[in-house]
Amino acid sequence: LTQGGVSRLKNLISKSYFDSSTHRLLVAVPDIFLKDEPYVNYLSNLSDTDQTHLPASLLALYREGLETGVVVNLGHRLSYVSLVINNKVTLTRKFDIDGIQLDEKLITIGNFKSIIEISRDFENYLYKYIREKHCYIPLSDSEEIPSTMVTVGCYSGQTISGSARKVVADSFFNNYLSKENIVQFTYNTIMMHTTDISTKQILLKNILLIGGNTLYPGFIERFTKDMQKLVQSEWDSDSIGIIAPQDRIDQIWKGASMWGTVYFGKDCQLQDFFL
């Protein structure tokens, strides 16, 4: 549930098909909003509704059968890294880069020309599609990325350069748009939280990647390689464990469905709402 989804949640609850006598509500809350007092208070005071709200990272780890781990959530509108220890979110840090910023950067350097006049919203949608279809994460910065032909809508037939295809890699792994790249940011989040060696070892072994911006070809390999290189002076490379389910874009919803089945009863019928 995003902040903007609160008003839509009110509408959902008010709909005639949402019967408080037969329905139970499980709300997955982005960790970054857990300290937003008005937001949390609203969820806590939903009248006439049997509901539970849980941190999204806890639900993401729940799907993997984990109670302790690091969740790296890189989404279109929100990116953050959370530490979960014994089923409790102990630290959440917002990362500077999300999908919207990547699209804005791609618009700047892509320089595609539309044969028809289009709205800015539709332009953003097309660039998001181009980014997701054509961007690539090389294993090293020295790897050349070739240009390729765009195959979407009114930009079809135009060329996207290698540098434009590399905008995601530069942004997440080369401090292109932020002070720390995502690997440094994740590692520093772990190290700044605790001095307990055993806890650090568990966290490093359970790094869960979720969100649409982790789906680029080469992302997992580059993240793993850079993390192993970063920690090599203090930790053995085998101490790093990267978890990246194939359907990780739906990781939170899958975890919520599993949690709901267990805690609401195996006979319940699940229905997902993205708000």
Q: Answer yes or no: is pLDDT of 41 > 90.
A: no
| pLDDT, position 270 | 59
Alpha-carbon distance of 125 to 135, in angstroms, equals 15
- For 52-84, write each residue's pLDDT tens digit: 778 999 999 999 999 999 999 999 888 999 999
Can you read off the two tokens belonging to residue 230?
């970063």
pLDDT of residue 218: 93
pLDDT at 242 > cutoff 90: yes
Per the CB < 8 A criterion, the answer to whether 68 and 96 are in contact is no
pLDDT band at 155 (very low <50, low <70, confident <90, very high): confident
Q: Which one has a higher pLDDT value, 57 or 144?
A: 57
Which whole number is the average pLDDT over 193-214? 91
- Give Cβ neighbours of residue 69 (< 8 Å, ≥ 6 apart): 61, 84, 202, 203, 206, 207, 208, 243
Does residue 138 register a pLDDT over 60? yes
Backbone angles phi, psi at 161, to 5 degrees: -70, 165
Look at residue 176 and tell me whether its pLDDT is greater than 70. Answer: no
More confident: 93 or 25: 93
DSSP letter at 232 equals T
Closest CA to 88 of 67, 107, 104, 106: 67
In this predicted model, what pLDDT tens digit does every residue of 91-121 receive, in sequence order? 999 999 999 989 888 888 887 887 778 888 8
